[in-house]
Amino acid sequence: MTSTSRVTLAAVAAHAGVSIATASRALRGRGEMRADTRARVARSATELGYSAGGEARGRPRRGTALQIDLVLDHFHSSYSEEIVAGARTAAADLGYDLTLTAERDEPADDWPERIRSRGSAGVILGLIVPTREQVLAMERAGIPLVVVDPPAESVSPLPSVRTTDRAGGEAAARHLVERGARRFIVIDGSPPFRFGRARVEGFTRALADLAPDAACIHTSAAWSARDARIACGTALDEHDDGGPVGVFACSDEMAVGAYGAAHDTGRRIPDDMLVVGFDDVRGARWVQPPLTTIRQPIREMAAAAVRILARASAGAEVADETVVLPTELVERGSTRRGSPATVFAVHPSPAPEQ
């Protein structure tokens, strides 16, 4: 190199055979790390003539703020409220502040630059898959990322926190069969995200084992109550009479749409139609009758993501670590009239989650 300003942190990391995040922590003297690793990074920096002052894309100020950024594309849903609540509590317990950062709906979104300028200790991405360029921007700044409930698999290896979506779908099928459903409707989300596909696959596979001759209509809606109401109503028109209809919706919001379809077609819940949702957001308790649903531990998932970032900030290698938390079936009035809410544990499916 002819100029020290051209030597990047990425070059030092490659020379030392470590990740950019590890090189950053080693040169800043932060976190627990093997002494020989720290020394190897220091030797590489010296040999290459690296100067922290010449790395324009690194952290803009000395050290790391005791701050974690939570990036979501919106903050006005029950789901996002649960993520915020779980992350905020865990961050406070570990001595971090939580900053809410919106992903802007534009190709040149600058959330990595905004976060880099704050010198955050780490970033939680909720229901977002970062681009390769965004991942590289955070790596250059030495800021770790973790993804909660990714809608698809990242092109770059990242730590993630998710739930047993397939097992939740299986539990929904078992429950509807046990409660007497003889015909079925599955309301999938569109676009078909990773977790939606796994929920539907779990449901349909379990139903094929438990009730192989049962009629099942698979429809989809744009992850909204309005679209689900229309889709479910159309599917109900296709079913002939022959016993109660069991409806499985891949989100609680779409399950509320199924309630609307029941009203539109003159059906009563749970006498004529049994409904199971997915998520267990607060609104599931408020509809009448209260919604039976598959609870995914959203707050606990966010808290697990915070703990991963705290470990990464302390020098631990988290790489592509995956944390999978179990779902639970919460039974309420939409599948059994007048019964108190009870919780049944749903264990992970033997097949790997997708």
Look up the CATH number of the domain holding residue 8: 1.10.260.40
Q: What is the mean pLDDT of the chain?
A: 87
Look up the CATH number of the domain holding residue 108: 3.40.50.2300
Res 349 pLDDT > 70: no
Q: What is the pLDDT of residue 352?
A: 39
Query: Band of the pLDDT at 60, cuts 50, 70, 90?
Result: very low
Answer whether residue 352 is part of any domain.
no
Tell me: do 208 and 243 sit in the same domain. Answer: yes
Tell me: do 115 and 135 sit in the same domain. Answer: yes
Res 350 pLDDT > 80: no
Tell me: do 72 and 14 sit in the same domain. Answer: no
Q: How many domains does one find in the chain?
A: 3
Range of the domain at 77: 67-163+299-325
Tell me: do 276 and 337 sit in the same domain. Answer: yes
Answer whether residue 60 is part of any domain.
no
Answer whether residue 59 is part of any domain.
no
The string of DSSP letters for 150-183 reads -SS--SS---EEEE-HHHHHHHHHHHHHHTT--E
Answer whether residue 354 is part of any domain.
no
Angle CA 102–106–112, to nearest 5:
50
Could you tell me which of 276, 235, 281, 254 has the C-alpha nearest to residue 190?
Answer: 254
Answer whether residue 351 is part of any domain.
no
How distant, in Å, are the alpha carbons of 29, 58, 143, 176 from that of 38? Answer: 8, 18, 18, 57
The angle, 0 to 180 degrees and rounded to 10, between the axes of the packed helices 78-93 and 298-313 is 40
Among the ranges given (27-31, 69-73, 135-139, 320-324), the one the predictor scored with the smallest mean pLDDT:
27-31
Kindly state the helix (H) or strand (E) to which residue 256 belongs, with its residue range.
helix 252-264
Find where tokens 């109660």 sit: 244
Tell me: do 80 and 105 sit in the same domain. Answer: yes
Tell me: do 277 and 312 sit in the same domain. Answer: no
Res 285 pLDDT > 70: yes
- Using the Cα atoms of residue 149, residue 152, residue 156 and residue 157 in order, give the sign of their dihedral: positive
- In this predicted model, what pLDDT tens digit does every residue of 231-248 receive, in sequence order? 999 999 988 677 899 999
Answer whether residue 172 is part of any domain.
yes
Tell me: do 188 and 145 sit in the same domain. Answer: no
Answer whether residue 285 is part of any domain.
yes
Tell me: do 230 and 98 sit in the same domain. Answer: no
Res 31 pLDDT > 70: no
In angstroms, rounded to a whole number, what is the distance separating the alpha carbons of residues 228 and 253? Answer: 8
Tell me: do 149 and 182 sit in the same domain. Answer: no
Tell me: do 240 and 338 sit in the same domain. Answer: yes
Tell me: do 38 and 184 sit in the same domain. Answer: no
Query: How many CB atoms are closer than 10 A to CB 224?
Result: 16
Query: Band of the pLDDT at 348, cuts 50, 70, 90?
Result: very low
Tell me: do 332 and 208 sit in the same domain. Answer: yes
Residue 56: DSSP 8-state: T
How distant, in Å, are the alpha carbons of 130, 167, 199, 345 from that of 206? Answer: 33, 9, 11, 17
Answer whether residue 37 is part of any domain.
yes
